[in-house]
Amino acid sequence: MSLADKVLAANNDLPIRTREPVHSGKVRSVYWLTPEDSARLIKERHYPVAADAPLAIMVISDRISAFDCIWRGEGGLNGVPGKGAALNAISHHWFSLFRQHGLADSHILDVPHPLVWIVQKARPIKIEAICRQYITGSMWRAYSKGEREFCGITLPDGLEKDQRLPELLITPSTKGILKGIPGVPEADDVNISRADIEANYQAFNFSRPEDINHYETLLKEGFNAISQELTKLDQIFVDTKFEFGYVTDAQGQEKLIYLDEVGTPDSSRIWDGPAHRQGKIIEQSKEAFRQLLLNHFPDPDILLNKDRMPEREALARDNLLPRDALLAVSETYVGMAEKILGTKLVLPENPKDEIIQRLRDDYGLVD
């Protein structure tokens, strides 16, 4: 079997029993189970959720997204080998650590296969919360042009690129297009302040004003828990994205939980510690792939300028990247997973067939 055959590129065509349209994102696809299958699995497997909680199968692909586009490689390599398994394993590891620290649960109830989660339906908070410990990336680009206020926080003059910030910053942005919020543009991924959230907490899907404090606590403590563990591995946790939502537990109580993924090379910047001490930045995350794209194409403004999205989509559609570029990403992702887990990552040989067999034989979800 070729390497390309071991990559799961299409993940929205599995014969999982569902009556709903498959929701397919940039990387993950979600199959909502029937009420009957959800209730059966909750009972059979003793999931700690309400008896009538809606469940879904979430399948992660090996596709790679950057600058809001999906990129492909030469030789039929339509994804990054091992990427999906690495992201799922890292996220599950950190979610388990959060529970051990008494922080909050996640949406994951079960892991039938390295590329599959069984999840509980949540009501998402409409915020992407970025925690930043260093000034780099988009924040540095804005700061270097004279901007000093970020999400209601004023930074001092005199900061240098890639410098550690005086304190951990929370710089939230909107998730999706939110309408009718004073002072918040009706566009996806626009920066907001804590004052915006407090004044319009219901529009962001918070149940109670006091949950804003709880969400910030989970952000900071989650970031610090991951940072401490990465420090033991001589890696630097630079910044990361968190998402949250509400679920109802088996006792009928509403609670705030972590969603999506956490602390992965896809959702975070991680720097190599030894290189950093020598004044060099070695990215252990997708940032290295973003930089490769910026250097690979003659007009990087296409990738950075949202007004040129049609050109960017054409760039991704019409250009196959060198095979070595995707294999370098694979090495980074799998390497970080093995470093964090402390064990070798077992990669699927024939991912689609393996997933179908497991969900049919052990979960009764494939006809």
pLDDT, tens digit, for every residue of 27-78?
A: 999 999 999 999 999 999 999 999 999 999 999 999 999 999 999 999 999 9
Quote the CA–CA distance of 30 and 123 in Å, as a whole number.
15
Quote the CA–CA distance of 152 and 132 in Å, as a whole number.
14
Per-residue DSSP letter, 16: B
Residue 1, pLDDT > 90, answer no
Quote the CA–CA distance of 174 and 195 in Å, as a whole number.
14
**Residue 164, SS3 per DSSP:** strand
* Geometric angle at alpha carbon 239, from 243 and 344, rounded to 5°: 85
Quote the CA–CA distance of 68 and 80 in Å, as a whole number.
17
Instruction: Name all domains of the chain by residue range, CATH numbers in brackets.
Output: 4-122+342-361 (3.30.200.20), 124-277 (3.30.470.20)
Structure tokens at 113: 């296969």
31-35, 182-186, 199-203, 362-366, range with the lowest pLDDT: 182-186
Quote the CA–CA distance of 188 and 127 in Å, as a whole number.
10
Interval 183-192: pLDDT, tens: 899 988 899 9
Mean pLDDT (the chain, rounded):
95
106 class by beta-carbon count within 10 Å (0-12 exposed, 13-18 middle, 19+ buried): buried
Q: Percentage of residues in the chain with pLDDT exceeding 70?
A: 100
Residue 227, pLDDT > 90, answer yes
pLDDT in the model for residue 2? 83
Interval 94-141: pLDDT, tens: 999 999 999 999 999 999 999 999 999 999 999 999 999 999 988 999
pLDDT in the model for residue 255? 95
Phi then psi for residue 360, to 5 deg, are: -80, -50
CA nearest to 263, candidates 207, 327, 340:
340
Residue 19, pLDDT > 80, answer yes
Quote the CA–CA distance of 14 and 12 in Å, as a whole number.
6
Structure tokens at 183: 């002072």
Q: What is the DSSP string of 278-329?
A: TT---B-STHHHHHHHHHHSS-THHHH-GGGHHHHHHHHHH-PBPHHHHHHH
pLDDT in the model for residue 189? 87
Span 160-170, average pLDDT: 94
Structure tokens at 307: 């007004």
pLDDT in the model for residue 309? 96
Quote the CA–CA distance of 355 and 247 in Å, as a whole number.
26
Span 175-202, average pLDDT: 92
Quote the CA–CA distance of 61 and 363 in Å, as a whole number.
20
Name the residue type at position 299: D
Interval 261-299: pLDDT, tens: 999 999 999 999 999 999 999 999 999 999 999 999 999
* Geometric angle at alpha carbon 259, from 33 and 19, rounded to 5°: 15
pLDDT in the model for residue 52? 94
Residue 229, pLDDT > 80, answer yes
Q: Could you tell me the pLDDT band of residue 340, with boundaries at 50, 70 and 90? A: very high
Quote the CA–CA distance of 142 and 164 in Å, as a whole number.
16
pLDDT in the model for residue 188? 86
pLDDT in the model for residue 3? 86
In angstroms, what CA-CA distances link 261 with 38, 88, 257, 265, 316? 22, 8, 12, 10, 24
List the end-to-end C-alpha distance of the chain, in Å, as a whole number.
Answer: 27
Structure tokens at 89: 């394993």
pLDDT in the model for residue 34? 97
Q: Quick one: CA dihedral 276, 279, 280, 285, positive or negative? A: positive
Span 231-259, average pLDDT: 95
